[in-house]
Amino acid sequence: MRYAWSKLNRLQKGTYGEYLAKMEFVMYGYLVFTAEIDDRGIDFVVRNDQGVHYDVQVKTVTKGNYTWITRSKFVKSLWVCLVCLTEGNPPALYLFSGHDWDRDKSGLLQHRKYPSAKESEYGFHFTKKREAHLETYRFDISAERLRDKMS
């Protein structure tokens, strides 16, 4: 069966998500530069025709999972590409600017600070109620919006 995501392990899903995200950026006219070592939370860098660069972090999840980025790897200029894999369905891609965490009022994007943790985290809190709000960040919509801001 195509889109049998459950047959892939976590590493395979993550790699699939990163390659898919890179190709989607290429399809929207960005140049993509891959980091040789991912020790800073940057999976790749995109560049538009005007020469403006942005760091991109890709998070691949099985729909419904909570995922996050630690504070030390999160900057407002970061773009986060979320790849959601739902069994039996093609992947869904979403794109967020680091600034979206300040603007979001739905609870989808959360900045969590745990008293016992060394650092806080920026996460995605999925619920059925927030699913419609997630659609406002669809990759095709966000890629155009962010590209226009870069110009």
Q: If we measure between CA atoms, which residue out of 87, 78, 69, 67 comes closest to residue 134?
A: 67
Mean pLDDT of the chain: 88
Each residue's pLDDT tens digit, 7-42? 999 999 999 999 999 999 999 989 999 988 776 779
CB 72 within 8 A of CB 119: yes
Tell me the whole-structure pTM to 2 decimals.
Answer: 0.88
Q: Which amino acid is at 100?
A: D
Residue 66: its pLDDT value, please?
81
For residue 147, what are its two tokens? Answer: 């590209």
Range of the domain at 103: 5-150
CATH number at residue 143: 3.40.1350.10
Residue 125: its pLDDT value, please?
85
What value does the mean pLDDT take over residues 113-142?
86
Domain count, the chain: 1
